[in-house]
Amino acid sequence: MKYVAMIYGNQAKWDSFPAEAWPEAIARQEAFNAKYRETGELLGAYGLADAANAQLIRRKDGVPAVTDGPYLETKEYLASFYLLDCETLERAQEIAADMPFADVDPVELWPVLHESVGDM
C-alpha cells in the first residue's frame, strides 16, 4: 500500500533554525532518505519552495488564469512530502516516526486511495 507522509512548516520556522545547524539537519534527512530508498519503501522525497512561490491556476474562458498563491491563508503550509510503499500501515507509521524531525513536529500520514495505471 502506498502512503504520503507530509511535513508542514513556514518561512518564519525555517528562518529561526540556526544556520550552522542546517548541514547536520540536511545530512540526517539524506541518511533517512537513503535508508528507506535501499529498502524500497521510499519511492520519492520532495521539498517544496516557500509559499511565496506558489501559484494558483484556474481555467477562465478556456485559458489558464494564474494568480499568486497559496490558496489558503495559513500560518503553515506543506513543506515536503514523501511517497512510501509499505506492507502495512504500522510499517508506514514506523517510517514516519523515524523522520529526523518527528520528535519536534508531527508527520501527517495519508493512505493513497487511487493510483493511475497508465505509464509514466
Q: In the chain, how many domains are there?
A: 1
Residues spanned by the domain of 8: 2-48+75-111
Q: Is 16 within a domain?
A: yes
pTM (2 d.p.): 0.84
Would 66 be classed as within a structural domain?
A: no
Burial (CB < 10 A; 0-12, 13-18, 19+), residue 34, is exposed
For residue 105, tell me if it sits in a domain.
Answer: yes
108-111: strand order across its sheet: 42-47, 77-85, 2-9, 108-111
Q: Is residue 93 part of a domain?
A: yes
pLDDT at 3: 97
Asked whether residue 29 is assigned to any structural domain, the reply reads yes
CATH number of the domain within which 29 lies: 3.30.70.1060
Instruction: Tell me the per-residue pLDDT of 32-86, one tens digit each, with 9 for 90 and over.
Output: 999 999 999 999 999 988 877 888 889 999 999 998 876 666 677 888 999 999 9
